Structure 1
Amino acid sequence: MADQSLFAGPAIRRLRKREGMTQASTAARLEISPSYLNLIERNQRPVSARVMMRLVEQFDFDPRSLRADEAIGGVDGLARRFADERFADLGIDRDELQEFLASSPQVASAFARLYDNAGPAGGAADPLAASRAEVERWRNHFADLDSEAEAMADEMRLSRGDIGIALADRLRERHQLSVRILPREVLPDSLRRLDLHARQVQLSEMLSIPSRNFQLAMQLAQLEFADGIQAVASGARFDDEAARGLFARHLQGYVAAALIMPYGRFLRACEATGYDLPVLERRFGVSFEQLAHRLTTLQRVGQRGLPFFMMRIDRAGQVSKTLAGGSTARFVDSIQTCPLWDAHRAFDRAGELQVQFVALDDAGEREGGWLTMARTVEGAGAPGEAQFVVALGIEAVLADQLAQARGVSLRSGDAQPIGPGCARCHREACSQRSLPPAGRKLAFDRSRRGVTPFEFERS
């Protein structure tokens, strides 16, 4: 990734205009010619490392601002929004979106904000979508909360190795709260309850040990990180307080995971084991879903982990949870999934990790595809009452570092083509297709019958 050319013309042009400078005066401070600066601003030349250093020195420039497009999910985030049926007849392709984002990133951000606030076609603004968009804007990494949680975790590990005992002791010593496990009939509809009258944190007996620990960590997050969580949640632009509530709840879970899997120690374990998922589960005493959450957060500046995405689906293929982290996977934005994806096979192979190399639509050769790892998890309640599949994924070009990639061919021709759900998938001649793609005109040929009942005209 380090050898990719960095084209940042619009950002540098905005910087120059903000400073009220001409191209000539700016070029002089950057120690380049005005004609070269002109080429850079028109994205006809990349920004060299030397020019970048001069930008930092002369203008107190933050290089991370060059990736501001990531706040809306980059080209993939725009593609997800433009896949809305309201734009289907326009035939906007990825090349046009790439050009739009490169030339007018602020306008693209304005469009994304309007779209997210307006909600999907035919509906009101969705608080869950708004909350997810805010998590995406942060790339699911909240540096201050993460660092504070790591410091607390280090403090609690000074004399205790069992995180569950340490969490319970912290609640007792700092907050005068004891932990009590109650029968299901006493807490029929709750996993955790704070009873201030009895000075108890009450947990359902139906929780597994990793889930009990996580709920205790969530309670500590509410008690000791309330100000920090409130500060982050208050800074978000939400039109709906329900969205803010969902976002705050996500932050509480984020802190809980950071307490149980402290950033530095967790990242070192990931790198030492090749991100071996079963080993990490046991080393930190967490569930597969908790581990998947944490793997999407490793975006600390100067100490980044691999950019995973995570999805949780049910048997109907509905997506109930998505976290993109630093990933650019387009199917993270889907509300339906492709039946050709082996994540669906995991339901019939409970507890087994399903590893598959996939390519989305026509992106296989260009993007190299994705290595996905999926496994069943159980929802809250009695065993077997609710079942989901949690899937982790990473770009195939980075997958050779993974323990789970051993023995898997990552050649582009070996990828399984999948789509973002039939209504948004434009792959032709797919025998698994259940719906025609939105915005495409159906084609009928009386002289033949294709493998799918929904053939459509090529764009």
Structure 2
Amino acid sequence: MVRTALTGTRIRERRTMIGLRQSDVAAQVEISPSYLNLIEHNRRRIGGALLSRIARVLGVDVSLLTQGVETEQINQLSEAASAYSASSAEVDKVDEFVGRFPGWAALIAAQQRQIVSLENRVAGLVDRMAHDPFLSASLHDLLSKVSSIQSTASILAETEDLDENWRQRFQRNLHADSGKLAKGAAALVTYLDSEGEAELRAVSPQEELEAFLNATGFHIAGLEKSVPDLIDVLMEKAQGFESDAGRGIGRAYLERYRTEALAMPLDEFRDAAQRVAFDPAHLSEQFGASIPAVFRRLASLPGARIGLVSCDGAGALTLRKTTDLLPLPRFGSACALWPIYRALTRPMAPVRAVLEHASRPGERFLCYAMAHAHYPAGFSASAVYEASMILIPNTLVEQSVYAGPFTRIGTTCRVCPLPDCAARRDPSILGDLQPDAPQGALTRGAG
């Protein structure tokens, strides 16, 4: 949530610096001068669309009014206090603490960043250990070599009258298998020591596309205008496409991206999204585009931090735009409480939810999801279902959106700290880290 104790002051300083009166700014953003005065003196909360309008009038980016060293520290300290409910920290005095003891505040904020980073690293390693096909194949290969060495050694040790020719053959096999085992073990250690999930190699054509898109933030600036043959140039320079199938999927995605970019021009679409608080249904009506196309276009907005997740009818994740709002598993199943799975149970019905990740208490975000059907084999054939959801950070919409009920979710069961989840499939390796964590319903504020 935006800290108005800092934002209001920055608004006042910027307005006076460029020589605007309160009444002038208030008229342009369609609020009363008295209300703007309350905002500037830190007596009213501000965020979302109103903050975007004020920033536009003042000629600055929203981040210049909301972000800074103090804001980041305050947010991280508040997040740390929320994550450990038994700490009884005075959250209401966090602004004063940051102001009086900036050094200690910076240290605690750095520790909180490290904790979050380590938690995400553990989640990635657990996900990798459980579901990575490369790791599974490597372990199977190592076990096969160990079994072969054990069998050969047993023959040599237990057969006293073994022919010398056979003994030499078994010894050569033992030496060769030992060498392969050493190389395989070294390669596996190197693989496990790779830093960060982003360095994991793609194991499918779809993952090749996903890695390429995440490297660009899902925004392809060169395709925002109709330039002939530019897709060919982009595909030639693209890194990470190792297979013909991956390049084919990548080309198809870029062609669809250019079509949607021309139908929903970037500047016009971004302004419209801010006016309607990033509501996909309003944008679909205005631009005559499908909801999935609007989802993809929202995810392509540069600097907006909007996440995107797609899955097939079986619930397997098929496209993921990485985001700090919600850590996304690369392998295996995701949290069953995600709205995308609720959408699959009611195709073509919109799903809207306010969410909070279990490892980041107090940091809520907005989610829209919808499932739709395709009929690639004709009208009389079975439908093929796909669902998508977008994640909207709380800095893009009015803060009043987050005052009502919200749903607490996780990434995947094995790394979810929720102690009493009705949708849990597997026990969590983090289950004993917060013994005093509150028990009860996952949906807060409802009923």
TM-score by length of 1: 0.49
Counterpart in the other structure of 2:125: 82
Q: What is the CA–CA distance in structure 2 between the aligned matches of 1:276 and 1:317, rounded to whole Å?
A: 24
1:76–1:330 Cα contact (<8 Å) kept: no
After superposition, the Cα gap between the structure-2 partners of 1:388 and 1:253, relative to the gap in structure 1 and judged at 3 Å, is: same
**Partner Cα separation in structure 1 for residue 424 and residue 194 of structure 2:** 35
1:257–1:294 contact (8 Å) kept in structure 2: yes
Hey, what does 2:306 align to over in structure 1?
Answer: 308
Opposite residue 253 of structure 1, the aligned amino acid is R
CA contact (8 A) 2:127 2:331 kept: no
Residue pairs, 1:164-183, within 5 angstroms: none
Partner of 1:420: 411
Is 1:131 the counterpart of 2:209? The answer is: yes
Equivalent residue number for residue 234 of structure 2? 231
What secondary structure is seen at the aligned counterpart in 2 of 1:364? Answer: coil
Residue 258 of structure 1: how far off its partner (Å): 0.9
Q: Once the 2 structures are TM-superposed, how far is the Cα of residue 421 of structure 1 from its aligned partner?
A: 2.7
Whichever residue aligns with residue 313 of structure 1, its letter is C
Kindly indicate whether the alpha-carbon contact (under 8 Å) linking 1:341 and 1:418 is maintained by their aligned counterparts in 2: yes
How far did 1:140 drift? Answer: 0.9
Q: 2:223 aligns with which of 130, 145, 155?
A: 145
Matching of residue 360 in structure 1 with residue 357 in structure 2: yes
Change (3 A) 1:233 1:289: farther
Q: What CA distance in whole angstroms lies between the structure 1 residues aligned with 2:213 and 2:283?
A: 24
What amino acid sits opposite 2:339 in the alignment? Answer: D
- Give the AA of the match of 1:5: V
Partner of 2:364: 369
Amino acid of the structure 1 residue aligned with 2:388: V
Query: 1:399 maps to what in 2?
Result: 397
> Which ranges in structure 1 are unaligned for 5 or more consecutive residues?
7-42, 47-73, 89-107, 120-124, 153-223, 443-449, 452-459
1:297 corresponding residue in structure 2: 300
Deviations 1:102-142 (A, max 9, x none): xxxxxx9973488422x5xxxxx333223212211111111
2:421 to 430, 435, 452: 430
Note the C-alpha offset of 1:315.
4.7
Please name the residue that 2:83 is paired with.
none
Deviation at 1:268, TM superposition (A): 2.2
Aligned-residue sequence identity (percent) comes to 18
Q: Residue type of the partner of 1:126? A: S
For 1:433 and 1:144, the matched residues in 2 are separated by 44
Q: In structure 2, give the amino acid aligned to 1:357.
A: V
Instruction: Show the counterpart of 1:265.
Output: 268
CA contact (8 A) 2:277 2:397 kept: no
Contact 2:373–2:385 (Cα < 8 Å) also in 1:
yes
Give the structure 2 partner of residue 339 of structure 1: 336
**For residue 390 of structure 2, what is the amino acid of its counterpart?**
L
Q: Which residue does the alignment assign to 2:19?
A: none
Aligned equivalents of 1:87, 1:311: Cα separation in 2: 21
- Aligned partners of 2:277 and 2:320: how far apart in 1? 23
Note the alpha carbon deviations across 1:139-176, whole angstroms, 9 max, x for none: 11111222x23xx7xxxxxxxxxxxxxxxxxxxxxxxx
Say whether residues 1:251 and 2:335 are aligned partners: no
Amino acid aligned to 1:429: D
Q: Is the 8 A contact 1:310 1:322 kept in 2?
A: yes
SS of the aligned residue for 1:331 comes to coil
Structure (1 or 2) with the larger CA radius of gyration: 2
Relative distance call for 1:229 and 1:267 in structure 2 (3 A) is farther
SS at match of 1:330: coil
Given that 1:134 and 1:236 are in contact with CA atoms closer than 8 Å, whether structure 2 keeps it comes out as: yes
Higher relative contact order (CA 8 A, sep 6+): 2
- Supply the distance in 1 between the matched residues of 2:330 and 2:276 (Cα, whole angstroms): 30
Query: Aligned AA for 1:285?
Result: G
Cα distance in 1 for residues equivalent to 2:368 and 2:279: 11
Query: What is the SS of the residue equivalent to 2:283?
Result: helix
SS in 2 for 1:111: coil
SS of corresponding position for 1:136: helix
| Counterpart for residue 69 of structure 2 | 5
C-alpha change, 1:109 and 1:395, in structure 2 (3 Å) is: farther
Q: Distance in 2 between matches of 1:113 and 1:419?
A: 18
The residue number in structure 2 matching 1:280 is 283
Structure 2 gap segments, 5+ residues each:
1-62, 71-105, 110-116, 132-191, 433-438, 441-447
After TM superposition, give the deviation of residue 77 of structure 1 in Å.
7.7
**Paired residues of 1:375 and 1:391 also in contact (CA < 8 A):** yes
State whether residues 231 and 251 of structure 2, in contact with CA within 8 Å, keep that contact through their aligned partners in structure 1.
Answer: no
8 Å contact from structure 2 (residues 419, 431) kept in 1: no
Matched-pair contact (CA < 8 Å) for 2:310–2:389: yes
Does the 8 Å CA contact 1:236/1:244 hold for their aligned counterparts?
no
| TM-fit CA distance, 1:291 | 0.8
1:232 deviates by 4.6
1:375 offset after TM fit, Å? 1.6
Shift of 1:397: 4.0
Q: Is the 8 A contact 1:374 1:390 kept in 2?
A: yes
